Structure 1
Amino acid sequence: MDVLKLAIAEGKLQSGVDLLKSIPTRGSSPISDLLVRALWECGKVEEALETFYYLKEIGVRPRIEICNGLLSAFLRSKKLGHAWRLYAEMFRMKIPSNTATFNIMINVLCKEGKLRKAEGFLQIMESSGVRPTVVTYNTIIQGHCDRGRVDIGLELLKSMRERGISPDSYTYGILISGLCKRGKLAEASAMFSDMEEQGAKPTAVTFNALIDGFCNKGDLETAFTYRKKMKDRAIKPTVSTYNMLLHALLMEKRNKEADELLEEMQKKDELSPDAITYNILINGKCRAGDIDKALQLFEEMTQKGLPASKVTYTSIIYGLSKSKRVEDGYSLFKEATRRGLSPDTVMFNAMIDGLCSGGKGEKAFLLLEEMERMKVLPDEVTFNSLMRGLCLQGKVEEARELLAEMRRRGIEPDHVSYNTLISGYSRRGAVKEALKLRDEMLSLGFNPTVLTYNALIQGISASGDGDLAEQLLREMAADGVGPNDGTYIALLEGLAAPSSVD
């Protein structure tokens, strides 16, 4: 076997047909089986199929194990059409399918998205006298859960139990993961308890699904409870376990706990932070305003040979912009493109927002043109940033013209678009225009937010119309919009501002 694989690897054996022609072969031949296996194990599935057809031509009937191995090779290499052609040849050659054959072909159907046919194959399997196994059901359950149809997966679990087939750890893991992705965390926890009661041992993958589900919900207490259960059962956490918990802690600004968790991770010899870990940490430091630490992590990541992605650059560009280091962010943006990273909409938005906040609107509009050249579609966030930049420069009319430009491009303005313009007009003292925009916003079905009211109150207070300001406060209460600190600051700033005539 090793000699055959070496010959294939060195290019001395391109096809098994010539070799077999030199060997008198009839019936079943060990050399023919070894040859077909060596070809598919070297990734030459087409050559393996060619050899299979030659064997059929000279009357050799390959063993079912060889047929199944070749079917599996087609499945792994995503040559699903080849798998069906081989399966049809097996049928014509009267090579009876066994459990493994049916399981492979059911997997092929699931990969093709033909899940109803996969379930129908169960009946064909049983009518052929072959009993489905837990692997059979796991394959179909996985297919449904991958497509978000966990309810059908649960029905199949019930069906397999009725047939006397006990679910294993993999069955439970698939369903728990599917439930967590759908946000059905109570059901996932109940299934985990059932899993342990039935004696099926959870794996790190099972725990990671639960930890991820509860982290996404913001329930870190339960997430850490499952991490403790991992330890209690001597199941080692993976890099993914730490990444999910680190991300959740940093999103809640629990930076000290995140640092402690990272330190714990680094003490484990078998675990090393990966590119995802660094992206999480860099993003967390940028959100916390610690841009110097983020840049230090970026340098450390590069030194370790971990590839910086668009996500990495976007986080740092955002952090630099918030730290009023817009030019540094722009340089980093250009560096990313030089390194062959094509900026996406999110990355462009981070840079455009930074430039607009830093009073560099002209550069921001040049980036919009660059987006067009690179065929990267802007979205409402892109235009909202550009509007805010123009409003900060007092160019409110130009900002308002962007509403029409958005619609021309098929982008619908959102409540942020209107709040930005309302704020721009209010700061300039153009209260009537601000109120007109508020009415337009209402006519489109957008409910005013506390930011809408704050902007209006500031402008109205500055104009000296205290009665209208009080009316807006009452309107806020009627709409169920509670005032915040910004509301009272807007009121005081408006009163302190020089009065203006609209």
Structure 2
Amino acid sequence: MRRISLRNGNGNGIPFVSFFAGSAITVRTCSSCHYSNKSIPLKDKIGVNSSNLDDAVTLFHQMVTMKPLPSVVNFSKLFKNMIKLGIPIDGFILTSVINSYCLMHYSADCAFSVLPIYLTNGIPFNVVTFTTLIRGLFSENKVKDAVELFKKLVREDICEPNDFMYATVMNGLSKRGHTKKTLGLLRLMEQGNTQPDIYIYNIVIDALCKDGNLDAAINILHEMKQKDIPPNIVTYNSIIDGLCKLGQWEKVKTLFSEMVNLTMYPDVHTFNILTDGLCKEGKVEDAEEVMKHMVRKGVEPDIITYNAIMDGYCLHGQVDRARRIFKIMIDKGIEPNIISYTILINGYCKKKKVDEAMQLFCEISQKGSKPDVVTYNTILQGLFKVGRIGHAKKILC
């Protein structure tokens, strides 16, 4: 891959050139992003044969949906031809190319390699461009590079981060366990021109809850209320989930009451959090009561609800009760998924009822599904446990 110099005609670097020079991120042409079409070569499509505006625009839309995407070289050729035809190349078009590279999970180099096209056409970079690049870096787990790019934008006033850019950085950090940095960005945002909204606060609260730091999460909830930012169902679901995992059921009841007082009734996700938490504590019958309460309130249980209760019964050796839930689920018109089958197979194997487990295992294929690696491991362990080595070998093959 060949590095492209990001400098304009008079040799002066644009504001963020020094960042690319001093960082692990470089802007390159991406040789890994190629496209080959033997019936109609792409190079012929983007050449002088594109004789009218409609053809060029149509080709652009085709190119951004190709898998894999064409190289940036091909995009550059198309853009030159579009300019000759009088079609203006703007930031929207280029950002859509960058976005396509990021969504297709190519190397971030492919997305960054579009930047020279901005320079050669005199198109200014904007917050959408950089937000898309940051998201692409996070998708490749290049957390340090994403954070460095964000810091550079803020420090050198290259562009003013908006709420969506903050949300992208904070979401990327929180999902990778960087809760302190996520909280730090919230505090930075509160001091700037762009004030956090409910979506930003929900990211921080969810990160704190997943870290088990419920006190800090509840403090953030109180801060929101003081700023007249009303919490929504997502806010409460995150905190309820954290409380359930810690077994703090009294606080869960308090939050439920608070939700009802705000005329915010729990949704299926809220109930699933409750049923899963109760099942993991061995309170499976209580979880069933919650499911019945859902139905009375007009909230239909889904596959996650049934799987949680089945798993709860199986964990406590009550596989017959789990099978009853399995049947109720089917009677309700909900098709079991591979997780449903694996839960029951595991329950039967633990009770050494391998014939029942094998019956379910065969049923998976009959229903048009495929066992996953967990299902195979479960049935193999069950067969080995009862000494049916030959049968286990056949399944392994």
Task: Give the TM-score taking structure 1 as reference length.
Answer: 0.56
Output one character per residue of 1:158-214: Cα deviation in whole Å (capped at 9) or x when no partner: 774242243233443455445545656665433333113322111112211222343
Match of 2:307 in 1: 384
Output one character per residue of 1:346-384: Cα deviation in whole Å (capped at 9) or x when no partner: 222112212222333344233323433444343211110
Equivalent residues, number: 332
Conserved? CA contact 1:210–1:226, under 8 Å: no
Conserved? CA contact 2:91–2:124, under 8 Å: yes
RMSD, matched Cα: 3.8
Alpha-carbon distance, 1:280 to partner? 0.8
Match of 1:258 in 2: 182
Output one character per residue of 1:267-300: Cα deviation in whole Å (capped at 9) or x when no partner: x432433222221111112222222322222222
Structure 2: how far apart are the matches of 1:333 and 1:447? 38
Match of 1:197 in 2: 120
Unaligned residue ranges in structure 1 (runs of 5+): 1-131, 133-139, 480-502
For the pair shown, the structure with the greater C-alpha radius of gyration is: 1
Task: Say yes or no: does 1:344 pair with 2:240.
Answer: no
Match of 1:449 in 2: 373
Match of 1:169 in 2: 91
Name the amino acid aligned to 2:161: P
Q: Which has the higher helix share?
A: 1
Aligned match of 1:420 in 326, 343, 346?
A: 343
Aligned match of 1:312 in 226, 235, 255?
A: 235
Task: Say yes or no: does 1:410 pair with 2:333.
Answer: yes
SS at 1:365 equivalent: helix
Name the amino acid aligned to 1:196: L
Q: Which structure carries more relative contact order (alpha carbon 8 Å, separation 6+)? A: 2
Identify if the C-alpha distance between structure 1 residues 251 and 439 changes in structure 2 by more than 3 Å, giving closer, same or farther: same
Stretch moving more, 157-166 or 320-329:
157-166
Identify if the C-alpha distance between structure 1 residues 362 and 303 changes in structure 2 by more than 3 Å, giving closer, same or farther: farther
Match of 2:220 in 1: 297
Aligned match of 1:321 in 220, 227, 244?
A: 244
Unaligned residue ranges in structure 2 (runs of 5+): 1-52, 67-74
Structure 2: how far apart are the matches of 1:316 and 1:469? 47
Conserved? CA contact 1:282–1:297, under 8 Å: yes
Name the amino acid aligned to 1:168: D
Conserved? CA contact 2:341–2:361, under 8 Å: yes
Stretch moving more, 394-403 or 327-336:
327-336
Identify if the C-alpha distance between structure 1 residues 344 and 157 changes in structure 2 by more than 3 Å, giving closer, same or farther: farther
Task: Say yes or no: does 1:249 pair with 2:173.
Answer: yes
**What are the equivalent positions in structure 2 for 1:200-279 lying under 5 Å apart?**
200-228=123-151, 230-231=153-154, 232=156, 234-266=158-190, 268-279=191-202
Conserved? CA contact 1:423–1:456, under 8 Å: no
Structure 2: how far apart are the matches of 1:309 and 1:157? 45
Structure 2: how far apart are the matches of 1:314 and 1:446? 32
Conserved? CA contact 1:431–1:460, under 8 Å: no
Percent identity of equivalent pairs: 30
Stretch moving more, 302-311 or 175-184:
175-184
Conserved? CA contact 1:388–1:399, under 8 Å: yes
Name the amino acid aligned to 1:457: Q
Name the amino acid aligned to 1:391: C
**What are the equivalent positions in structure 2 for 1:275-290 lying under 5 Å apart?**
275-290=198-213
Output one character per residue of 1:380-413: Cα deviation in whole Å (capped at 9) or x when no partner: 1111011122224443212112222222333221
Task: Say yes or no: does 1:399 pair with 2:322.
Answer: yes
Alpha-carbon distance, 1:216 to partner? 4.0
Name the amino acid aligned to 1:384: N
Identify if the C-alpha distance between structure 1 residues 455 and 247 changes in structure 2 by more than 3 Å, giving closer, same or farther: farther
Structure 2: how far apart are the matches of 1:330 and 1:385? 20
Name the amino acid aligned to 1:390: Y
